C-alpha cells in the first residue's frame, strides 16, 4: 500500500440488528517514528441490495507534534464554531477542528480503529479494555485452591434472569453497549446487595452516556464499562425512572436527580478459568466481558464455532454481560447478554475470548442522596 508495508483492519456495522444491510470500514495502517499512521481508509455499504464504495488516501499525514499555540483562543473571542454562520472567529477554530476531526488526525481520534490494538484507542462504538497493567480492577478475592473447592458446590445450571436480578435492556445502539453493560452489571450487584428480596431496579443507562465523559467514555461514540464503574464510584447511578433513556446523548443532569446506588469497587476474574468465572457469576452477579464479534454469526442454539472468532488477549471488540451458564448436548455454555439479545456460547477453548478479561462489580446501597 503506497509502497509501504501495511496492516489491514476492519470493522462491521449492521443496520437495525437485522440482515437488511451492513457497512464495512477498512483501514490500512503502518508505523512511522513510533506512531500508527493511516495509508488508506475505505467504506463499503450494502443496504437492500444497493452497494456503495468510497475511500480516502492519506498521502500527507502529519506525525509531528501539535503546536500548543493552536489551542489558544484569542482574547475577546467566543469559544464556539459554526459551519454556516458568519461568526468572524470561525476560521480561528478550524485548525482545532482539523486536528480533532478524523481523517486529518487519525492517530489522535481513531474513528476507523476497527479491530486495532489498544494503542489505537477507542473505535466509533467501543473502547478496548485496559491492559492488566492499566486496569484499576481489584484482584480476585479467591485463591486458586478456594476456587477449586467452592466450584464443586456450584449448581450445574444458573441464570440470573430466573431470580429477577436483571431488568429488560433498552434498545441501544452498538455504540452504547458499554453503558447498558455497566448499568445491568450494577443492577445485578444491587439486587444481591439487597439480599434478593426486592425486585431488581432498572438503573439509568442514559446517565452513563451523558455524564461519564470525564472518565474516558464518549457518549454515543463508545466507551468502556470500566470507565463507567470509575465514574459511578464518584457520582453514583440513578434509576431509569429518575434519568430515563433517550437513545441519544444529551446534557448531563446527574446533580439534579436522586442517586440509587454507588459502585464500591470492581474485580478482575482470572483469565481463561471456567470455574472462577462460574463462581463470580453465582456469588457476585452478572460479569462484564469483552469478546470478538467480528466473525460471529448466531441465530439460535449453542454457538460453538471456535475457529470463526478470535480468543487471544486483546482480540475483544465488543462488550457483553455473562448472566449465567448451562449445558446441553454434552456442551457447557455461557449465557451472554449482548446489545441485541442473548447468545449461548460454548465455554470450550475460551470461544471468542469471553474469558480473557472478565470483571464484576460491587455496590453500596443508597449511600448518599
pTM (predicted TM-score): 0.66
In this prediction, residue 126 has a pLDDT band, given cuts at 50, 70 and 90, of very low
Count of H-run helices and E-run strands, the chain: 7, 12
Query: How is 40-104 classified by DSSP, letter by letter?
Result: EEEEEEEETTEEEEEEEE-TT---SPPPGGGGPPPTT--S---SSS--TTHHHHHHHHHHHSTGG
Task: Please tell me the predicted confidence (pLDDT) of residue 90.
Answer: 40
- Whether 238 and 342 map to the same domain: the answer is yes
1-15, 170-184, 246-260: which is most confident: 246-260
**Do residues 182 and 279 share a domain?**
yes
Q: Please, what is the average pLDDT of the chain? A: 76
Of 49-63, 184-198, 294-308, 325-339, the one with minimum mean pLDDT is: 49-63
Q: Is residue 129 part of a domain?
A: no
In a domain, 250, yes or no: yes
Model confidence band, residue 53 (pLDDT cutoffs 50, 70, 90):
low
Q: Do 331 and 197 reside in the same domain of the chain? A: yes
Percent of the chain clearing pLDDT 70 (strictly above): 67
Name the nearest CA neighbour of 169 among 319, 316, 342, 365. Answer: 342
CA distance 206 to 218: 12
138 in a domain, yes or no? no
Neighbours of 65 (CB within 10 A): 6
> What is the per-residue pLDDT for 237?
97
Please check whether residue 340 lies inside any domain of the structure. yes
pLDDT computed for residue 41 by the predictor: 76
Cα separation, 296 vs 318, whole angstroms: 11
Residues 312 and 180 in one domain: yes
Least confident stretch, 49-53, 64-68, 209-213: 49-53
Do 251 and 337 reside in the same domain of the chain?
Answer: yes
**SS3 of 174, please?**
helix
CATH of the domain at 233: 3.90.70.10
Instruction: Specify the pLDDT at position 119.
Output: 31
**Average pLDDT of span 230-235:** 95
- Interval 187-198 mean pLDDT: 91
Residue 128 domain-assigned (yes or no): no
Q: Which residue has the higher pLDDT, 202 or 308?
A: 202
Q: Which residues pair with 288 in a beta bridge?
A: 321, 359
Is 136 among the domain residues? no
139-150: average pLDDT: 96
| 237, 89: one domain | no
User: Tell me, what's the pLDDT at 338?
Assistant: 85
Q: pLDDT confidence of 249, banded at 50, 70, 90?
A: confident
Are 95 and 204 in a shared domain? Answer: no
Q: pLDDT tens digits for 272-315?
A: 999 999 999 999 999 999 988 755 566 678 888 767 788 888 77
Between 310 and 75, residue with greater pLDDT: 310
Q: Note whether 107 and 150 are same-domain residues.
A: no
One domain for residues 223 and 354: yes
pLDDT digit string, tens, across residues 349-369: 998 899 999 999 999 865 433
- Helices of type H across the chain: 90-100, 106-109, 144-151, 177-193, 205-211, 225-235, 274-284
CA–CA dist 23, 43 (Å, integer): 7
Q: Which residues form the domain of 22? A: 7-120
pLDDT digits (tens, 9 = 90+) for 100-120: 443 333 333 333 333 333 333
How many independent structural domains does the chain possess?
Answer: 2
**Which DSSP symbol is given to 68?**
G
Of 104, 120, 136, the domain-final residue: 120
Question: Between 86 and 327, where is the model more confident?
Answer: 327
- Evaluate if residue 10 carries a pLDDT over 60: yes
Query: Where does the pLDDT of residue 167 fall: very low under 50, low under 70, confident under 90, or very high at 90 and above?
Result: confident
Whether residues 197 and 323 share a domain: the answer is: yes
Last residue of a domain, one of 66, 88, 120: 120
Within a domain: 12: yes
The winner for highest mean pLDDT among 91-100, 175-184, 218-227, 263-272 is 263-272
- Residue 85: what pLDDT? 36
Choose one of 88, 120, 152: the last residue of a domain. 120
Do 153 and 109 lie in a common domain? Answer: no
Least confident range of 55-64, 175-184, 205-214, 240-249: 55-64
Answer whether residue 127 is part of any domain. Answer: no
> Do residue 217 and residue 346 come from a single domain?
yes
Amino acid at each position: 500500500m503506497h509502497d509501504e508495508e501495511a496492516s489491514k483492519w476492519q470493522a462491521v456495522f449492521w443496520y437495525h440488528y437485522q440482515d437488511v444491510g451492513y457497512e464495512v470500514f477498512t483501514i490500512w495502517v503502518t508505523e512511522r517514528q513510533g506512531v500508527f499512521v493511516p495509508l488508506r481508509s475505505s467504506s463499503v455499504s450494502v443496504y437492500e441490495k444497493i452497494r456503495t464504495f468510497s475511500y480516502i488516501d492519506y498521502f500527507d499525514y502529519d506525525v509531528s507534534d501539535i503546536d500548543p499555540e493552536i489551542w489558544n483562543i484569542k482574547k475577546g473571542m467566543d469559544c464556539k464554531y459554526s459551519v454556516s454562520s458568519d461568526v468572524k472567529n470561525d476560521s480561528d477554530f478550524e485548525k482545532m477542528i482539523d486536528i480533532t476531526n478524523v481523517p486529518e488526525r487519525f492517530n489522535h481520534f481513531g474513528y476507523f480503529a476497527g479491530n486495532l490494538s489498544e494503542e489505537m484507542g477507542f473505535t466509533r462504538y467501543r473502547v478496548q479494555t485496559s491492559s492488566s497493567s492499566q486496569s484499576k480492577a481489584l484482584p480476585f478475592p479467591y485463591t486458586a485452591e478456594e476456587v477449586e473447592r467452592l466450584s464443586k458446590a456450584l449448581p450445574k445450571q444458573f441464570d440470573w434472569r430466573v431470580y429477577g436480578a436483571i431488568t429488560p435492556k433498552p434498545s441501544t445502539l452498538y455504540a452504547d453497549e458499554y453503558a447498558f453493560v455497566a448499568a445491568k452489571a450494577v443492577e445485578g450487584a444491587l439486587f444481591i446487595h439487597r439480599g434478593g428480596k426486592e425486585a431488581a431496579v432498572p438503573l439509568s443507562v442514559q446517565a452513563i452516556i451523558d455524564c461519564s465523559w470525564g472518565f474516558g467514555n464518549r457518549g454515543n461514540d463508545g466507551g468502556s464499562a470500566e470507565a463507567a464503574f470509575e465514574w459511578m464510584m464518584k457520582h453514583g447511578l440513578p434509576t431509569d425512572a429518575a434519568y430515563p433513556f433517550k437513545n441519544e446523548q444529551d446534557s448531563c443532569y446527574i446533580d439534579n436527580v436522586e442517586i440509587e446506588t454507588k459502585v464500591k469497587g470492581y474485580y478482575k476474574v482470572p483469565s481463561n478459568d471456567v470455574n472462577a468465572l462460574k463462581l463470580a457469576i453465582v456469588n457476585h452477579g452478572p460479569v462484564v466481558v469483552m469478546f470478538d464479534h467480528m466473525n460471529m454469526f448466531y441465530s439460535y442454539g449453542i454457538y460453538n464455532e471456535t475457529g470463526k472468532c478470535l480468543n487471544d488477549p486483546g482480540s475483544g471488540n465488543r462488550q457483553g454481560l455473562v448472566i449465567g451458564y448451562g449445558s446441553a448436548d454434552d456442551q457447557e455454555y455461557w449465557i451472554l447478554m449482548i446489545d441485541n439479545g442473548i447468545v449461548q456460547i460454548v465455554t470450550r477453548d475460551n470461544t471468542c475470548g469471553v474469558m480473557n478479561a472478565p470483571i464484576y462489580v460491587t455496590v453500596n446501597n443508597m449511600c448518599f442522596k
